[in-house]
């Protein structure tokens, strides 16, 4: 249908981004193609060392799934999105396709080397998430192409991850957020992935912060250096949620805490985490 109708059509998934934009007249599609009538595109599967999420899987289904419960960063992300009403309708595929700079999923999934499977009349293709979102609200999707699945490699033993977002209230997007993934060998960090959310036009990979951890014993000094490197790469806009300096200070605190939780989880500790409210 997308191919037939052309670029005057918009896909409708959970409607939690598209419908508010239509109510504000920022989006005015001539046709809506409703994905909710297509069977078999909402699922969570564990297969061949990977987690696979059908595009129409709701945030709440992920929050409550036994599979995601074993991957705390995935569970915590789903559980922290807005409120129950939004989580019951909003989908992981819609979030990734929307590419909202304040969205939670892209920030988290970038630390998990996620791949986005796409489908169009020309066939299927799989795109690393790092190449899928190119700018605020912009992806590489062609007008006749949709997201069919998000795939995440199951992290090996000795790894841990955490996602922390700072929010003013449940039904608003975070002021700033940080996702951290570490692979530990005793006290030494073998590998690190750090992504910042809501402080740039897309989620930001904090490469210098990752380098500050890689191959190091994770002392307070080392963690502080990584958090400072994250502050340097954050590029927030001042708005009703806070000034640039405030958001950068938040980034430092969130990255530090997320590293500490990720390390504890890598050691096998159960650490319960939820979003932090102002």
Chain contacts with ligand FAD (rule: CB under 6 A): 10-18, 20, 35, 55, 81-82, 86, 90-91, 93-95, 97-98, 100, 103-105, 141, 146-147, 171, 173
Identify which of residues 131 and 219 has a Cβ nearer to ligand FAD in the complex. Answer: 131
Evaluate whether 89 touches 77 at the Cβ level (below 8 Å): no
Q: Least Å distance between CB 22 and ligand FAD?
A: 9
CB of 7 to ligand FAD, least distance (A): 11
CA contacts within 13 A on the Cβ side of 188: 5
Q: Cβ closer to ligand FAD: 16 or 233?
A: 16
CB of 104 to ligand FAD, least distance (A): 4
φ and ψ at residue 271, rounded to 5 degrees: -120, 120
Nearer to ligand FAD, 86 or 113 (CB): 86
Nearer to ligand FAD, 56 or 213 (CB): 56
Q: Report the distance separating Cα 155 and Cα 51, nearest Å.
A: 10
Closest listed residue to residue 160, CA positions, set 261, 79, 77 = 261
Q: Which residue's Cβ has the minimum distance to ligand FAD?
A: 90
3-class state of residue 46 by DSSP: strand
C-beta separation of 203 from 196 below 8 A: yes
Task: Rank residues 126 and 219 by Cβ distance to ligand FAD and give the closer one.
Answer: 126
Of the candidates 179, 197, 181, the one whose C-alpha atom is nearest the C-alpha of residue 189 is 181
Q: CB of 150: closest distance to ligand FAD in angstroms?
A: 10
- Number of H helices and E strands in the chain, helices first, is 12, 14
CB of 59 to ligand FAD, least distance (A): 6
Smallest distance, ligand FAD to C-beta of residue 138, A: 11
Q: Which is nearer to ligand FAD, 105 or 166 (CB)?
A: 105
d(CA 275, CA 278): 10
Token reading at 185:
């060998």
């Amino acid at each position: 249908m997308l191919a037939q109708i052309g670029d005057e059509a918009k896909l409708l998934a959970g409607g939690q981004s598209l419908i508010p934009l239509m109510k504000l007249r920022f989006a005015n599609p001539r046709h809506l193609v409703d994905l909710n009538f297509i069977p078999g595109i909402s699922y969570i599967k564990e297969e061949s060392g990977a987690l696979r999420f059908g595009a129409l899987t709701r945030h709440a289904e992920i929050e409550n799934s036994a599979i995601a419960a074993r991957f705390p960063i995935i569970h915590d992300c789903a559980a922290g999105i807005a409120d129950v009403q939004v989580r019951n309708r909003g989908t992981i595929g819609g979030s990734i396709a929307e590419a909202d700079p304040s969205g939670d999923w892209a920030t988290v999934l970038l630390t998990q080397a996620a791949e986005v499977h796409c489908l169009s009349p020309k066939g299927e293709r799989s795109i690393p998430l790092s190449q899928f979102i190119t700018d605020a609200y912009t992806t590489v999707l062609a007008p006749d192409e949709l997201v069919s699945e998000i795939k995440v490699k199951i992290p090996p033993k000795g790894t841990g991850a955490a996602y922390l977002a700072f929010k003013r209230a449940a039904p608003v997007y975070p002021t700033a957020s940080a996702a951290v993934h570490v692979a530990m060998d005793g006290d030494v960090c073998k590998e690190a992935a750090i992504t910042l959310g809501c402080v740039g036009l897309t989620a930001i990979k904090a490469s210098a912060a990752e380098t500050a951890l890689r191959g190091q014993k994770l002392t307070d000094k080392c963690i502080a250096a990584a958090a400072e490197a994250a502050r340097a790469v954050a590029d927030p806009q001042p708005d009703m949620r806070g000034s640039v300096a405030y958001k950068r200070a938040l980034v430092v605190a969130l990255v530090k805490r997320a590293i500490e939780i990720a390390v504890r989880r890598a050691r096998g500790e159960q650490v319960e985490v939820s979003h932090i409210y102002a």
